[in-house]
Chain A
Amino acid sequence: MKKMIALALGAALLLSGCGGGSSTSDAEEKYGSSTLKLYNWGEYMGENLISNFEDEFGVKVIVEYFDSNEMMYTKLQAGDAYDVIVPSDYMIERLIKENMLQKLDLSLVPNISNLAEGVKNLPYDPDNTYSVPYFWGNVGIVYNHNNVDPAEVERLGYGILQDTAYKGRIYVYDSERDSFMMALKALGYSMNTENESEIEEAYQWLLQMNDTMDPAYVTDEVIDGMINGNKDIAVVYSGDAATILDENEDMSFFLPTEGTNLWSDSMVIPANAENPLLAHEFINYVLTHDASYDNSETVGYPSSNQEVLDEMSAPEGVYAENEAYLPRTDYEKDEVFEDNPVLKQKLAELWIKVKASH
Chain B
Amino acid sequence: MKKEKKSLLSKILLGLTATFFYVPILYIILFSFNSSRSLTKFEGFSLRWYEKMFADSTMMAAVAYTVIIAVLATIISTIVGTLTAIGLSKSRKLIRGMVEQVNNLPILNPEIVTGIGLLMFFSALGVKKGFLTLLLAHVMFCIPYVILSVTPKLRSLDPNLADAALDLGATPMQALWKVIVPQIRPGIISGALIAFTMSFDDFVISYFVTGNGVNNISILVYTMSKRVNPSINALSTLVILLITVALLIVNIIPIIKEKKGRKLT
Chains A and B share a contact (CB less than 8 Å): yes
CA distance A284 to B225 in the complex (A): 25
Instruction: Name the segment of A64-72, A183-191, A208-216, A275-283 touching the other chain.
Output: A64-72
Query: Are A11 and B242 in contact, with the CB atoms below 8 A?
Result: yes
Q: Interface size (B, Cβ < 8 Å)?
A: 49
**The residue from B41, B60, B129, B228 contacting A15, defined by CB atoms under 8 A apart:** B60
CA distance A44 to B223 in the complex (A): 10
**The residue from B61, B215, B253 contacting A16, defined by CB atoms under 8 A apart:** B61
Query: Are A12 and B67 in contact, with the CB atoms below 8 A?
Result: yes
**A1 to chain B: which residues have CB within 8 Å?**
189, 192
Q: A3-B253, A8-B71 are in contact. Are A65 and B226 (CB under 8 A)?
A: no
Q: A16-B61, A37-B213, A63-B58 are in contact. Are A220 and B67 (CB under 8 A)?
A: no
**A134–chain B nearest beta-carbon distance, Å:** 13
Task: Check if A224 is an interface residue, CB within 8 A of chain B.
Answer: yes
Q: A12-B71, A65-B219, A220-B226 are in contact. Are A228 and B41 (CB under 8 A)?
A: yes
Task: Check if A53 is an interface residue, CB within 8 A of chain B.
Answer: no
Task: Check if A7 is an interface residue, CB within 8 A of chain B.
Answer: yes
Query: Are B40 and A224 in contact, with the CB atoms below 8 A?
Result: yes
Task: Check if B140 is an interface residue, CB within 8 A of chain A.
Answer: no
Query: Are B38 and A15 in contact, with the CB atoms below 8 A?
Result: no
Query: Are A7 and B249 in contact, with the CB atoms below 8 A?
Result: yes
Query: Are A7 and B250 in contact, with the CB atoms below 8 A?
Result: yes
**B68 to chain A: which residues have CB within 8 Å?**
9, 12-13, 16
In residues 1-32 of chain A, which contact B (Cβ within 8 Å)? 1, 3-5, 7-9, 11-13, 15-16, 18-19
Interface residue SS majority, chain B:
helix
CA distance A47 to B250 in the complex (A): 38
Instruction: Name the segment of A73-81, A122-130, A158-166 touching the other chain.
Output: A73-81
Q: A19-B57, A42-B223 are in contact. Are A9 and B64 (CB under 8 A)?
A: no
Q: A4-B246, A65-B219 are in contact. Are A43 and B67 (CB under 8 A)?
A: no
**A37 to chain B: which residues have CB within 8 Å?**
212-213
Task: Check if B224 is an interface residue, CB within 8 A of chain A.
Answer: yes
Task: Check if A105 is an interface residue, CB within 8 A of chain B.
Answer: no
**The residue from B60, B116, B189, B227 contacting A43, defined by CB atoms under 8 A apart:** B227
Across the interface, name the chain B residue whose C-beta is closest to A17. B64
In residues 43-92 of chain B, which contact A (Cβ within 8 Å)? 52, 57-58, 60-61, 63-65, 67-68, 71, 74-75
Q: Interface size (A, Cβ < 8 Å)?
A: 43
**B181–chain A nearest beta-carbon distance, Å:** 13
Interface string of A34-75 (1 = CB under 8 A from B): 000100011110010000000000000011111110010011
Task: Check if B33 is an interface residue, CB within 8 A of chain A.
Answer: no
Task: Check if A247 is an interface residue, CB within 8 A of chain B.
Answer: yes
Interface string of A138-168 (1 = CB under 8 A from B): 0000000000000000000000000000000
**A248–chain B nearest beta-carbon distance, Å:** 10
Query: Are B67 and A8 in contact, with the CB atoms below 8 A?
Result: yes
**The residue from A12, A74, A247 contacting B208, defined by CB atoms under 8 A apart:** A74
Task: Check if B207 is an interface residue, CB within 8 A of chain A.
Answer: yes
Task: Check if A227 is an interface residue, CB within 8 A of chain B.
Answer: yes
Task: Check if B105 is an interface residue, CB within 8 A of chain A.
Answer: no
Task: Check if B197 is an interface residue, CB within 8 A of chain A.
Answer: no
Task: Check if A199 is an interface residue, CB within 8 A of chain B.
Answer: no
In residues 214-271 of chain A, which contact B (Cβ within 8 Å)? 219-220, 223-224, 227-228, 240, 243, 247
Across the interface, name the chain B residue whose C-beta is closest to A68. B225
Query: Are A80 and B220 in contact, with the CB atoms below 8 A?
Result: no
Query: Are B207 and A42 in contact, with the CB atoms below 8 A?
Result: no
Task: Check if B247 is an interface residue, CB within 8 A of chain A.
Answer: yes
**A220 to chain B: which residues have CB within 8 Å?**
225-228
CA distance A80 to B189 in the complex (A): 37
Across the interface, name the chain B residue whose C-beta is closest to A38. B213
Task: Check if B134 is an interface residue, CB within 8 A of chain A.
Answer: no
Q: A63-B213, A67-B223 are in contact. Are A7 and B246 (CB under 8 A)?
A: yes
Across the interface, name the chain A residue whose C-beta is closest to B57. A19
In residues 299-327 of chain A, which contact B (Cβ within 8 Å)? 299
Across the interface, name the chain B residue whose C-beta is closest to A225. B40
Across the interface, name the chain B residue whose C-beta is closest to A35. B213
Query: Are A19 and B61 in contact, with the CB atoms below 8 A?
Result: yes
CA distance A240 to B38 in the complex (A): 14
**The residue from A12, A13, A16, A42 contacting B226, defined by CB atoms under 8 A apart:** A42
**A285–chain B nearest beta-carbon distance, Å:** 19
Across the interface, name the chain B residue whose C-beta is closest to A5. B71
CA distance A219 to B60 in the complex (A): 27
Query: Are A75 and B208 in contact, with the CB atoms below 8 A?
Result: yes
Query: Are B60 and A41 in contact, with the CB atoms below 8 A?
Result: no
Query: Are B220 and A65 in contact, with the CB atoms below 8 A?
Result: yes
Query: Are A247 and B36 in contact, with the CB atoms below 8 A?
Result: yes
CA distance A220 to B39 in the complex (A): 12
CA distance A235 to B192 in the complex (A): 45
Query: Are B119 and A15 in contact, with the CB atoms below 8 A?
Result: no
9 inter-chain pairs at a CB distance below 8 angstroms, sorted by A residue, are A1-B189, A4-B247, A5-B71, A12-B71, A19-B57, A44-B226, A78-B119, A78-B123, A224-B40
Contacts A75-B119, A75-B211, A220-B227 known; list 8 others, CB within 8 Å: A1-B192, A16-B68, A41-B223, A42-B222, A42-B223, A42-B224, A78-B122, A227-B38
Give 5 nearest A-B pairs by CB, closest first: A62-B213, A67-B225, A42-B223, A65-B223, A16-B64
